[in-house]
Amino acid sequence: MNEYIYHILVVIISTLVGFRAYDMGEDTTRYYEKFFDGSHYAYAVHGEVGSYLLMEMAYQLNSPRLFFALVAFVVMPIYMKAMKEYPTVKNSLGWGYMLFLGTTVGLSAVCSYERQVIACGVVLYATKYLLSRNILKYTILIMLASTFHISSFFLIVLYPLTAREVKYENVLIVGVILCEVIKVSYEYISLILPHYGLYFTDFSDDGHGIKQMVLYCLMYVIFAMGYIKYRKDFRYNVFFKIYTLGIVLLLCFYPMLGVSVSVRIAFVCLSYMFLLLGYCVEIDNAYIRMISKVSFTVALTALYFYAMDVANMIPFDIDGF
């Protein structure tokens, strides 16, 4: 019965996301504009062939809605599969899903950053090959992810960083070096990929930047406390190393680019928070575990309403209803 409920939930949330109102999500209207003027061809020119093909399919059928539906019905099952099957603790899907509903790299992102979200979905699926240490299959999937969002190419670095012998201080060093390389080479990025270069030209903040920074950093502290218990759990270490890299990218780019762009740069790495949270409520002491679960439930429920309000998605509109 639980499996039936799980699959029904996947279908429901995919339908809500895929058939949402045309103005629901920060970038949704921009994608509609690209359909109407045919400018989505530029994605193929810049190497994002996967995104172009999905959009071209919808364009040829004269149904922009088809693109959003395809993304939702591909991405949501992958996200939920990763939350459900990759962590080693029980009930990881429920906690990961609650966090997914209330963060800017969760539901509000899936309703907006279509190309980056589908690339993130491919990378999350590829996590199984980080865990099994299959570099060939992981590399193939990273190449596939980069056809939807070219920045995914840099995530090949996650394979060596998540090896057992790599220490967390090495992750911090690599993160800082990666930030400096991107900062130094942003002029070349602007030249080769002008639609990405625009992100580096202006500091932008949506007014909720500090709150988001506090949230992601607070979650890092919680995960660091969880590391005390799960430091010998290989999967926890893989997820936590990736999230650590995300925090480094977020903190390094925030002063220059603001929260909106820095979150996008750290987007995939921060998404591993959905796989980590389930560990942090499985406390050995039954009394403390109960208090912890109640506290997390209240906090995540409040976070959901706050995040949806910021993203202008309350109530959640779906065309035809």
For the chain, give the secondary structure using H, E and C. Answer: CHHHHHHHHHHHHHHHHHCECCCCCCCHHHHHHHHHHCCCHHHHHCCCHHHHHHHHHHHHCCCHHHHHHHHHHHHHHHHHHHHHHCCCCCCHHHHHHHHHHCCCCCHHHHCCCHHHHHHHHHHHHHHHHHHCCCHHHHHHHHHHHHCCCHHHHHHHHHHHHCCCCCCHHHHHHHHHHHHHHHHHCHHHHHHHCHHHHHHHCCCCCCCCHHHHHHHHHHHHHHHHHHHHHHCCCHHHHHHHHHHHHHHHHHHHHHHHHHHHHHHHHCHHHHCCHHHHHHHHHCCCCHHHHHHHHHHHHHHHHHHHHHHHHHCCCCCCCECCC
pLDDT of residue 235: 95
**The total number of residues written for the chain in this structure:** 321
Q: How far is CA 261 from CA 61, 104, 122, 249, 265, in A?
A: 33, 12, 21, 11, 6
Query: pLDDT tens, position by position, for the chain (321 residues)?
Result: 577 888 888 888 888 888 887 777 777 878 878 777 777 777 777 778 888 888 888 888 888 888 888 888 999 999 999 999 999 998 888 899 889 988 888 888 888 888 899 999 999 999 999 999 999 999 999 999 999 988 888 899 999 999 999 999 889 888 888 887 777 766 666 666 666 665 666 555 655 667 788 889 999 999 999 999 999 999 999 999 999 999 999 988 887 777 777 888 899 999 999 999 999 888 777 888 888 889 888 988 888 887 776 655 544 555 544
CA dist 106 and 93 (Å) reads 14
Residue 30 tokens, joined: 């921009």
Residue with tokens 């004269």: 62
Give me the sign of the Cα torsion angle 263, 269, 275, 276: negative
The answer, yes or no, to whether the previous bond of 160 is cis (omega within 30 of 0) is no
CB contact burial 128-166 (16+ within 10 A = b; e otherwise):
bbbeeeeeeebeebbebbbbbbbbbeebebbbebbeeee
CA dist 220 and 215 (Å) reads 9
CA dist 77 and 142 (Å) reads 18
CA dist 215 and 319 (Å) reads 32
pLDDT of residue 3: 74
CA dist 58 and 7 (Å) reads 26
Q: Phi/psi of residue 100, each to 5°? A: -60, -40
The pTM score is: 0.88
pLDDT of residue 8: 87
pLDDT of residue 234: 95
pLDDT of residue 204: 57
pLDDT of residue 321: 47
pLDDT of residue 238: 96
pLDDT of residue 193: 62
Closest-CA residue to 129 (of 145, 118, 116): 145
